């Protein structure tokens, strides 16, 4: 009996030793996996930080480019005026020019001649049959900013008519002015800047499909 028990004891001891060795091996494996996991977590954190820095850098560059585009658009549009309500009876731009010249001279009282105009065109898609109730706006490109200012200074004379004239501004600038007006409309009675359509004006260099400019007749 003693020998059998000794043999059994030895066998159990070996089994326990093997189990302990396996447990130790598993513990080492888990430790290694934990270290690898920590390293992977650090790599992921570093990658995330690098991506965020790159994203912020790209965002700043895009914002800077957007500002430059707006500045360039303002330069392109700085001598432009957008006219509303001018009847679209004739597809000839020369007829629109003649109408505007007479309107500025007679209604606004501003000295205005065809030579003050660089170009004139209708904004928007051309209709086969013009809608008399919804004529397309006219973009009037002047040769001087001074003449534009004179016209804008006298535009209150149009308040009793069906005509209106506004500056040709980039969409972002129109939104900024509209937001300012909405914030201050309760302070004093301010004229609204008009609806924001979300579309860039046809005089923008970013526009596609803009109709070609028509030559303005010179005296």
Structural domain contains residue 160? yes
Residue 119 sits in the same domain as residue 87 = yes
Residue 103 sits in the same domain as residue 131 = yes
Q: Of 134, 152, 168, which residue is a domain's last?
A: 168
Nearby residues of 119 by Cβ (< 8 Å), 6 or more positions away: 140, 141, 213, 214, 215, 216
Structural domain contains residue 5? no
Residue 92 sits in the same domain as residue 164 = yes
What pLDDT score was predicted for residue 212? 42
Residue 87 sits in the same domain as residue 124 = yes
pTM over 0.75: no
Q: Are strands 138-142 and 117-122 parallel, antiparallel or unpaired?
A: antiparallel
What pLDDT score was predicted for residue 125? 85
Structural domain contains residue 10? no
Residue 102 maps to which CATH number?
Answer: 3.30.70.1820
Q: Of 124, 140, 168, which residue is a domain's last?
A: 168
Residue 124 sits in the same domain as residue 57 = no
Residue 88 sits in the same domain as residue 41 = no
% of residues, the chain, pLDDT over 70: 76
Residue 123 sits in the same domain as residue 64 = no
Measured on CA atoms in the order 96, 99, 104, 107, is the torsion positive or negative? negative
How would you class 120 by CB atoms within 10 Å of its CB: exposed for 0-12, middle for 13-18, buried for 19 or more? Answer: buried
Residue 109 sits in the same domain as residue 138 = yes
The parent domain of residue 86 ranges over: 78-168
Nearby residues of 82 by Cβ (< 8 Å), 6 or more positions away: 123, 137, 138, 139, 140, 165, 166, 167, 168, 201
Going residue by residue through the chain, which has 219 residues, state the pLDDT in tens, using 9 for 90 and above: 444 445 555 577 787 777 777 777 787 778 777 777 777 777 777 777 877 887 787 777 777 777 777 677 777 788 999 999 999 876 678 889 999 999 999 999 999 999 999 999 998 888 777 777 889 999 999 999 999 999 999 999 999 999 999 998 877 767 776 777 777 776 555 555 554 444 445 554 444 344 444 444 444
Rounded CA separation 154/140 (Å) = 16
Which residues lie across from 141 on neighbouring strands?
A: 80, 119
- Total structural domains within the chain: 2
Which residues lie across from 140 on neighbouring strands?
A: 81, 120
Structural domain contains residue 139? yes
Structural domain contains residue 163? yes
Q: Give residue-wise pLDDT tens across range 83-116.
A: 999 998 766 788 899 999 999 999 999 999 999 9
Structural domain contains residue 94? yes
Structural domain contains residue 27? no
């Amino acid at each position: 009996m003693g020998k059998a028990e000794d043999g059994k004891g030895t066998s159990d001891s070996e089994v326990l030793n093997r189990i302990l060795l396996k447990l130790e091996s598993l513990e080492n494996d888990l430790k290694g996996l934990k270290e690898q996991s920590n390293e992977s977590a650090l790599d992921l954190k570093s990658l995330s930080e690098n991506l965020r820095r790159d994203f912020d850098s790209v965002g700043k560059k895009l914002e800077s480019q957007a500002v430059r585009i707006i500045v360039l658009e303002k330069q392109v549009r700085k001598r432009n005026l957008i006219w509303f309500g001018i009847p679209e009876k004739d597809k000839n731009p020369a007829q629109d020019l003649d109408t505007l010249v007479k309107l500025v001279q007679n209604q606004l009282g501003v000295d205005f001649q065809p030579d003050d105009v660089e170009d004139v065109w209708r904004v928007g898609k051309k209709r086969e049959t013009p809608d008399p109730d919804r004529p397309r706006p006219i973009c009037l490109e002047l040769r001087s900013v001074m003449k534009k200012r004179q016209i804008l200074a006298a535009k209150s004379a149009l308040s009793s008519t069906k005509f209106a004239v506004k500056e040709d501004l980039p969409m972002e600038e129109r939104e900024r002015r509209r937001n300012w007006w909405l914030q201050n409309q309760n302070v004093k009675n301010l004229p609204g800047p008009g609806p924001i359509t979300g579309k860039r004006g046809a005089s923008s260099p970013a526009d596609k499909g803009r109709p070609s400019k028509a030559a303005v007749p010179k005296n």
